[in-house]
Amino acid sequence: MDNLQNVVAGFEVVLEPTNLLYCLLGVVIGMLVGVLPGLGPAATIAILLPLTYGIEPVTAIIMLAGIFYGAQYGGTITSVLLRLPGEASSVVTVLDGHALARQGKAGTALGIAAIGSFVGGTIAIVGLTFLAPLVAGFALDFGPPEYAALALLGILLVATIASGARVKALIAAVVGLLLATVGRDAFTGVERFTFGNLDLADGIDFVPVAMGLFGLGEILYNLEERHRAVHAPRKVTNVWPSRQDLRQSSGAVGRGSVLGFFLGVLPGGGATIASMAAYATEKRRAKDPSRFGKGAIEGVAGPETANNAAATSSFIPLLTLGIPANATMALMFGALLIQGVTPGPQLVDQDPELFWGVVNSMYIGNVLLLIMSIPLVGIFVRILRVRPAILAPVTALITLLGAYTINNSVFDVLLVVLFGAVGYLMKKFGFEPGPLVLAFVLGSLLEESVRRSLLLFGGDPTGFLTRPISAVLLALFVVVAVWPIIRSTRRRRSAAQDTIDREGASV
């Protein structure tokens, strides 16, 4: 009964004019950054973090959440019309979405994507509404050993599931853990890795790291990459799909909703992995897999539904456990801390207005996105004509000014520039910044939880195995760590056996 009252109170919070305005602003900005190739929600949230400092916490998080799930919609537009994935989670939509556009069915592809995104997002919000309080109640049993095991598992999952080379992702995660140790030791007060610099005595602030790696780093990298011209597509018509299209894609929408919801909850999951998994699922289930890549409507419906469901469900571990499931959630975690809000199992009871206000704002935001997604297509495509040479310096200036205004510190600006160069080099050499940022965020939690646990167990590390939850989480850690080795060994043996069989057949 209390939860029902809190849900109703959450709607009252969302329907305040200021919060409605920021919800609308968030989803519009999200669609915009989804349209602009390479920018993405993580970079945008990093750039806007300083601007949220003077806003009420619930209002700020409503806007940032709108940017995140709004970007999933925006990325579809350029994927279908221009064959340019505006957001990483829309990469697989390019395959069939643009093929449909070449057949004169761009409107159908965008319409199905909008409907699937709305359905997937709404189902995930309903799941979030019912599941999050249960997870929060369960998380009250978590102590230092459980949080240590969960943080360790989260870092490993992010590093192993991240796109790109697994070894590079692990290296990035290790660097993030090392950066988290800079500053004064919380237990002994001894300074570590500060090199006598007083600005580092309290550690490296999250905001300059995020703004450098995702903001300035992305800007520099995109300036180098975006040299090709973008041609405006033909006028989009026939946006509403036919009954046959709706019937053909309904199964993909349903499966994408469920798959995206569960992959979004997992640490290391998220919209990109969910969209790829949904596409693979639809292709595997299809009677004629050869249709995929040539204009299969399920190849648009499944991924676009899954990425929105995952974007929404990834708020569950963030708000209830205080564990960010992906890089964008790590930035959201930083935004909450800046606002003086500590996400975790106590948040539901201690600050129900913020918790339910953010959750319920997603219902409103999803409806706004469905209404606006097609009428604004023409405007967003025109924005693509703005030359990067004009857009990038303005964005970089805003980033640096924002970094300075947080603490009025030139040192923070220097950190942004430093991490911007690091972010550029990471992208250049195939290292994803996501594992680094997540490990940096979780590093402090991991260190503190491990040391508190060892104090609790009298220095005996086997104490982690005496508690059921931490033991299960550590067992999952071992499985995730060992499984790639087992899989690669099986592949090598299978390849060797095939070679022997072929040689035997030739004899």
Q: Which residues of 195-214 are buried (b: 16+ CB within 10 A; e: fewer)?
A: eeeeebeebbbbbbbbbbbb
pTM assigned to the model: 0.72
Interacting residues of 375 by C-beta distance below 8 A, sequence separation 6+: none
- CA-based end-to-end distance of the chain: 76
In the chain, domain spans: 1-466
Q: Which residues of 325-336 are buried (b: 16+ CB within 10 A; e: fewer)?
A: bbbbbbbbbbbb
Q: Letter for the amino acid at 396?
A: A
The alpha carbon of 134 is separated from its chain's Cα centroid by a whole number of angstroms, namely 23
| DSSP output for 147-184 | HHHHHHHHHHHHHHHSSS-HHHHHHHHHHHHHHHT-EE
In what helix (H) or strand (E) does residue 454 lie, and over which residues does it extend? helix 433-456
- The answer to whether 443 and 180 are in contact (CB under 8 A) is yes
pLDDT in the model for residue 21: 92
- The answer to whether 149 and 354 are in contact (CB under 8 A) is no
pLDDT in the model for residue 418: 92
DSSP 86: S
| DSSP output for 189-246 | --EES-TT-GGGTT---HHHHHIIIIIIHHHHHHHHH--S--PPPPPP---SPPHHHH
Q: Letter for the amino acid at 103?
A: Q
Question: Distance between CA 303 and CA 72 in Å, rounded?
Answer: 10
- Judged on CB neighbours under 10 Å (0-12, 13-18, 19+), 5 is exposed
Question: Distance between CA 444 and CA 439 in Å, rounded?
Answer: 9
Task: Provide the β-strand partners of residue 191.
Answer: 184
- H helix intervals, 286-387: 298-313, 315-321, 327-338, 347-350, 352-372, 377-383
- The answer to whether 319 and 125 are in contact (CB under 8 A) is no
- Which tokens belong to 293? 């890549």
Question: Distance between CA 454 and CA 403 in Å, rounded?
Answer: 37
Question: Distance between CA 328 and CA 166 in Å, rounded?
Answer: 20
* Three-state secondary structure readout of 235-288: CCCCCCCCHHHHHHHHHHHHHHHHHHHHHHHCCCCCHHHHHHHHHHHHHHHCCC
Calculate ∠ Cα 61-65-71, nearest 5°. Answer: 150
- The answer to whether 172 and 443 are in contact (CB under 8 A) is no
Q: Which residues of 379-411 are buried (b: 16+ CB within 10 A; e: fewer)?
A: ebbeebeeebeebbeebbeebbebbbebeeeeb
Phi then psi dihedrals of residue 323, to 5 deg:
-115, 115
pLDDT tens, per residue, the chain with 507 residues: 466 777 788 788 888 899 999 999 988 888 887 776 556 677 778 777 777 777 888 898 899 888 888 877 777 777 777 666 656 667 678 778 878 887 878 778 888 888 888 888 889 888 888 888 887 777 767 788 888 888 888 777 766 655 557 788 888 888 988 998 898 887 888 888 888 888 888 888 877 887 788 778 877 887 776 554 444 455 555 667 778 878 888 888 999 899 888 888 776 556 777 887 888 888 888 888 888 888 888 888 888 898 888 888 888 888 888 878 777 788 888 888 888 888 888 888 788 888 888 888 988 988 888 888 767 666 665 665 666 677 778 778 877 877 777 677 888 889 989 998 998 998 888 887 878 887 887 888 888 888 989 888 888 888 888 888 888 888 888 887 887 778 778 878 877 777 776 666 665
How many C-beta neighbours within 10 Å does residue 31 have? 28
Q: Letter for the amino acid at 115?
A: I
pLDDT in the model for residue 229: 46
Question: Distance between CA 204 and CA 98 in Å, rounded?
Answer: 43
